[in-house]
Amino acid sequence: MNNIDEIVSKQTNNKTFDKNAWKEKKAKERNEAYELIEQTSKEIVQDSNKFKSYIDIQSRFDKYSVGNALLIVAQKPNATIIKDFENWKKEIGDSFRINNKEKGIIILEPGEPYIKEDGTQAQSFNTKSVFDISQTNVKENNKVNNYDETILLRALLKDSPVDMKVVDSLDNGKLADWNKTDNTIYICRDSDTTSLFNAISKELAKTYFNEGNSIELNEFKANCVSYMIGKKYGINVDSINIGDVPSVLKEKDSRNIRNELSSIRDTIEEMNNRMSLYFESISKTQKNKDMER
């Protein structure tokens, strides 16, 4: 006899889910993720090349939190497209495979809210494993979305939070300059579209930053915003010099470093949201015209 009852029973027992072990594993992963965020926060401000890698990642994954961007740059700084296994499988089908010996990139996702001892509500986070396209058998599509630069410039200026005024020239050869006194960005006419986009996005960024910060820090952050928003839309950003991380940022603790990084990310999100609304409006207008034909 093959004693099937005993065989099945042993197989089932071997696969018994150990909930406590699973919880311990996830808690360990979560703590390690928090530690990696802390460590990477400090590392990127001490090394301009690492900081550049961070803003490249945050510009590619602009919907991700600062914490998750830091986790990605620490584990896979050249990542371009990331998804969890289930979503890759859903998109590609049964042929999808993770390359041999590849480990997932650990990020954090919101869990259930909970009540702290002081009675206030807080958000819990769980770890999640994702994979970059380079870790899979999926062929990367190098197609780049090409946006008309004039349309991009119009989108950037649409519903601007400050006034805009075109002038013949500006001091120091600037192409755009935010005047805090009258809350107006002055724009130099007869400049090429790429240079104008980069200059205006930088000056727009300054209008969002805390004036209590040092001028040097806000200038650095504005350069980062201009670089990141330009890169997102395929604008040539070679002329943007991010420069060295200012000492005032290097001297901050990890939490305050992330606060400044969040300020950069939030500014890009605000600008991108306005631009997206403009793209939607011209898309609807075009559809209406097509229907009328």
Q: Is the pLDDT of residue 78 over 60?
A: yes
Banded pLDDT at 260 (limits 50, 70, 90) = very high
- Average pLDDT on 9-29 reads 74
Give the mean pLDDT of the chain: 90
Q: Diameter of the chain by CA atoms?
A: 97
Q: Residue 261: pLDDT band by 50, 70, 90 thresholds?
A: very high
**Tens digits of residue pLDDT in 118-154:** 889 888 899 999 999 999 999 988 766 678 999 999 9
Find where tokens 């040097």 sit.
216
273 confidence band (pLDDT: 50, 70, 90): very high
Lowest model confidence (mean pLDDT) among 41-45, 106-110, 215-219, 240-244 = 240-244
Give the model confidence (pLDDT) of 88-104 as tens digits: 999 999 999 999 999 99
Q: How much is the pLDDT for 212? A: 77
Whole-number Å distance between alpha carbons of 14 and 238: 58
Residue 58 to residue 269: CA distance in whole angstroms: 11
pLDDT at 3 over 70: no
| Model confidence pLDDT, tens digit, residues 57-74 | 999 999 999 999 999 999
Report the distance separating Cα 233 and Cα 272, nearest Å: 10
Whether the predicted pLDDT of 213 surpasses 90 = no
pLDDT of res. 124: 86
46 band by pLDDT with thresholds 50, 70 and 90: very high
Task: Quote the pLDDT of residue 173.
Answer: 87
Task: Please give the model's pTM, rounded to 2 decimal places.
Answer: 0.87
Mean pLDDT of the region 161-166: 95
Q: Within a 10 A sphere around the Cβ of 266, how many other Cβ atoms?
A: 12
**234 or 8, higher pLDDT:** 234
